[in-house]
């Protein structure tokens, strides 16, 4: 025979006990139907007092409806927020031996409402004490600070109280501080516009300032640019990076000096093998004779004592005298000539004698 489920329900049976003052109470739970039969089981049974010769069934407590949710309980000091609501066991209340309501009478839920708090008087932590601001042995101050930002006052909160800075007296330290170098500065521009020159860079003993730093404060390196284009003034000829001009018309030594100087140049001064070799190259390329005639160069004995200087009185740093020169015959041979047929060695001669001469000029770019 098929069975079917039925809605569970209670059946109460009360029997009067004639011989005593109690009523027998039986509660059945019925939850299964088989055919026309409903299956019930005894849920519980007990005795209850008889009232005026009547058996009154017990009343089981039932909950009322939930009340409204209460306000959030969060404060400025808490991080969680809750709301609460209640119900009572009064629908109906238990009586006649009936049981109390089953379940909780109080219920909680998390709030979503944000609560702004009045905030103020929140300092950051103190900084470290600063170094004494005085020199060695002198009185000064050391200080520390804090800031009113944790949190910044808002929502009516008060400003921070007390002090944002504290100072204490101190005496400047006399401990020697070892100086240290700063970073190198960038290299300077090359010292020349063409050819080979130098670049420099510097650093300072200021990181920190103290006792002298070890090492150099400047560095130098070679820089090589494009080869210079060397030229000579008008009328001059380039020979081994020197510029010369040959004057064939004879002239006294002083007139030769003045002629060269008047053009912004100078009577040739042979002060090294390099200059002598450049002069030989020049004469070999420009002279129309096999051996040029002796010619004046810069050099004179102004005091007539055998000591030769330049036309401006500077000492001669290099000489190329012939073995028997200078002779200074009868105290009148006081100016220097170069004698090409004697390997370009020097000889002295009378300064008023006319002779060819050579002017020298700086190169131009």
Closest CA to 250 of 337, 152, 362, 156: 337
Instruction: At 339, give phi and psi (nearest 5°).
Output: -110, 100
How does residue 308 score in pLDDT terms, banded at 50, 70 and 90? very high
Average pLDDT over residues 50-64: 69
Question: By mean pLDDT, which of 98-112, 116-130, 281-295 is the weakest?
Answer: 116-130
Q: In the prediction, which pLDDT does 273 show?
A: 93
Cβ atoms of 362 and 242 closer than 8 Å: no
| Per CATH, domain 182-225 is 2.20.100.10 | yes
Taken in order 146, 149, 151, 152, the sign of the CA dihedral is positive
Cβ atoms of 80 and 74 closer than 8 Å: yes
302 CB-side CA count, 13 A:
10
- Report, in angstroms and rounded to the nearest whole number, the Rg of the chain calculated over CA atoms: 62
Closest CA to 348 of 284, 301, 286, 292: 301
43: pLDDT strictly greater than 70: no
189: pLDDT strictly greater than 50: yes
Q: What is the pTM of this model?
A: 0.41
Top pLDDT among 11 and 326 is at: 326
Average pLDDT over residues 1-6: 43
Specify burial of residue 94 (Cβ count, 10 A radius: 0-12, 13-18, 19+). middle
Q: In the prediction, which pLDDT does 306 show?
A: 85
Concatenating the DSSP letter of every residue in 128-187 gives PPPPP-S-TT-EEEEEEE--S-TTPPBTTPPPP-S-SEEEEEEE---PPPBP---PPPPP
- Which residues touch 14 (CB under 8 Å, ≥6 apart)? 23, 24, 25, 26, 55, 57
Taken in order 182, 186, 189, 190, the sign of the CA dihedral is positive
Mean pLDDT is highest, among 5-19, 109-123, 269-283, for 269-283
Question: By mean pLDDT, which of 8-17, 82-91, 141-150, 226-235 is the weakest?
Answer: 8-17
Q: Which residue(s) pair with 130 in the sheet? A: none
Tokens (6 digits) for 90: 């009064």
How does residue 6 score in pLDDT terms, banded at 50, 70 and 90? very low
Alpha carbons 191 and 241: distance in angstroms, whole number? 19
How does residue 363 score in pLDDT terms, banded at 50, 70 and 90? confident
**CATH architecture, range 237-361:** Roll (3.10)
Q: In the prediction, which pLDDT does 4 show?
A: 43
Question: By mean pLDDT, which of 40-54, 207-221, 342-356 is the weakest?
Answer: 40-54
Q: In the prediction, which pLDDT does 25 show?
A: 59
How does residue 203 score in pLDDT terms, banded at 50, 70 and 90? very high
Mean pLDDT is highest, among 134-143, 211-220, 294-303, for 294-303
The tens digit of pLDDT for each residue in 224-275 reads: 998 878 889 999 999 888 899 999 899 999 999 999 999 999 999 999 999 9
Cβ atoms of 360 and 265 closer than 8 Å: yes
Alpha carbons 360 and 233: distance in angstroms, whole number? 10
200: pLDDT strictly greater than 90: yes
190: pLDDT strictly greater than 90: yes
Specify burial of residue 142 (Cβ count, 10 A radius: 0-12, 13-18, 19+). middle
28: pLDDT strictly greater than 60: no
Q: In the prediction, which pLDDT does 29 show?
A: 53
307: pLDDT strictly greater than 50: yes
Average pLDDT over residues 72-99: 71
How does residue 8 score in pLDDT terms, banded at 50, 70 and 90? very low
Q: Which residue ranges make up each domain of the chain?
A: 182-225, 237-361
| DSSP-derived secondary structure letter, 69 | -
């Amino acid at each position: 025979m098929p069975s079917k489920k039925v809605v569970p329900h209670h059946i109460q049976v009360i029997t009067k006990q004639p011989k005593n003052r109690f009523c027998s109470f039986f509660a059945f739970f019925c939850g299964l139907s088989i055919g026309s039969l409903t299956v019930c089981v005894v849920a519980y049974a007990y005795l209850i007092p008889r009232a005026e010769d009547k058996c009154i069934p017990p009343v089981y407590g039932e909950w009322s409806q939930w009340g409204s949710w209460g306000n959030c309980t969060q404060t400025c000091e808490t991080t969680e927020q809750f709301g609460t609501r209640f119900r009572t066991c009064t629908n109906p209340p238990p009586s006649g031996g009936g049981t109390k309501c089953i379940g909780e009478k109080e219920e909680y839920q998390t709030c979503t409402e944000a609560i702004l708090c009045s905030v103020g008087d929140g300092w950051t932590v103190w900084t470290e004490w600063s170094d004494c601001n005085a020199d060695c042995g002198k009185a000064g101050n050391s200080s520390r600070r804090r800031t009113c930002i944790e949190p910044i006052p808002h929502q009516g909160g008060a400003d921070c109280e007390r002090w944002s800075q504290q100072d204490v007296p101190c005496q400047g330290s006399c401990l020697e501080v070892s100086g240290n170098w700063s970073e190198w500065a960038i290299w300077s521009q090359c010292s020349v516009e063409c050819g080979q020159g130098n670049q420099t860079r510097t650093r300072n003993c200021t990181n920190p300032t103290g006792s002298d730093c070890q090492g150099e404060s400047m560095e130098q390196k070679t820089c090589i640019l494009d080869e210079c284009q060397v030229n000579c003034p008008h009328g001059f000829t380039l020979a081994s990076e020197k510029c010369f001009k040959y004057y064939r018309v004879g002239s006294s030594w002083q007139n030769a000096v003045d002629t060269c100087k008047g053009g912004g140049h100078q009577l040739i001064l042979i002060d090294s093998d390099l200059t002598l070799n450049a002069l030989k190259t020049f004469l070999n390329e420009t002279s129309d004779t096999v051996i040029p005639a002796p010619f004046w160069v810069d050099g004179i004995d102004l005091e007539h004592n055998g000591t030769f200087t330049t036309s401006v009185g500077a000492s001669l740093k290099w000489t190329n005298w012939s073995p028997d020169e200078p002779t200074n015959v009868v105290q009148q041979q006081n100016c220097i000539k170069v004698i090409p047929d004697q390997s370009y060695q020097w000889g002295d001669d009378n300064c008023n004698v006319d002779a060819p001469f050579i002017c020298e000029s700086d190169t131009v770019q």
